[in-house]
């Protein structure tokens, strides 16, 4: 009977793990773009230059077409919906900010910080998305 508690502990962990895996959204975030408040593009412009606690977006992204460490975001609003099949422009941008390594823009490397989840509020994210989609 000594094996029983061990076995049940193993199956319990397996169950927990399975629950965790299916319970989480695919991107591991516990909120989605539909949970965001309405965004303010003017505030988004300020955050783009100086996001709280994070690396400034503008260090790596130009808005005038010039290539930087990251792609220029000139004309971004036009192409955002076409980047990843099945994602609309808001969904794509949401993931591009919070889970940058899920989809790497062709011709660039995986150097965008993946820490914005910790430093940006939901309002910040909404404002940034509104701003980027107006570009
Ligand atoms: C250290 C450099 C760096 C910083 C800082 C940075 N990014 Fe990026 N970003 C990148 C790189 C490199 C890519 C392309 C690779 C990828 O897809 O992850 C990228 C991709 C993106 C994309 C997808 C662009 C496209 O053409 O599809 C968006 C949107 C974006 N970043 C927004 C932001 C925002 C908003 C911030 C600030 C909150 C930010 N980035 C900060 C480097 C950076």
Instruction: Write down the pTM of the prediction.
Output: 0.86
Q: Which residue has the higher pLDDT, 19 or 4?
A: 4
Q: How many domains does the chain have?
A: 1
- Residue 79, domain member (yes or no): yes
Q: Confirm or reject: Cβ of 131 under 6 Å from ligand 1.
A: no
Q: What percent of the chain has a predicted confidence (pLDDT) above 70?
A: 81
Please, what sign has the CA dihedral across residues 107, 74, 72, 123?
negative
- Residue 46, domain member (yes or no): yes
Residue nearest to atom 32 of ligand 1 (CA): 97
Residues 97 and 120 sit within 8 Å (Cβ to Cβ)? yes
Full residue range of the structural domain in which residue 60 is found: 26-133
Structure confidence by residue, pLDDT tens digits, 61-76: 999 999 999 999 999 9
What is the 8-class DSSP label of residue 51? -
Distance 113 CA to ligand 1 centre (A): 8
Distance 30 CA to ligand 1 centre (A): 21
For position 43, which CATH number holds?
1.10.760.10
Q: Confirm or reject: Cβ of 125 under 6 Å from ligand 1.
A: no
């Amino acid at each position: 009977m000594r094996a029983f508690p061990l076995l049940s502990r193993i199956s319990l962990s397996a169950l927990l793990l399975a629950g965790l895996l299916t319970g989480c959204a695919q991107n591991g975030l516990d909120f989605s773009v539909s949970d965001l408040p309405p965004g303010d593009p003017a505030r988004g412009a300020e955050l783009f230059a100086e996001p709280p606690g994070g690396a400034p977006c503008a260090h790596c992204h130009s808005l005038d077409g010039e290539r930087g460490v990251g792609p220029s975001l000139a004309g971004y609003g036009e192409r955002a919906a076409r980047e990843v099949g099945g994602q609309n422009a808001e969904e794509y941008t949401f993931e591009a900010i919070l889970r940058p390594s899920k989809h790497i823009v062709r011709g660039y490397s995986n150097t965008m910080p993946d820490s914005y989840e910790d430093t940006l509020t939901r309002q910040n994210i909404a404002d940034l998305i509104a701003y980027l989609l107006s570009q």
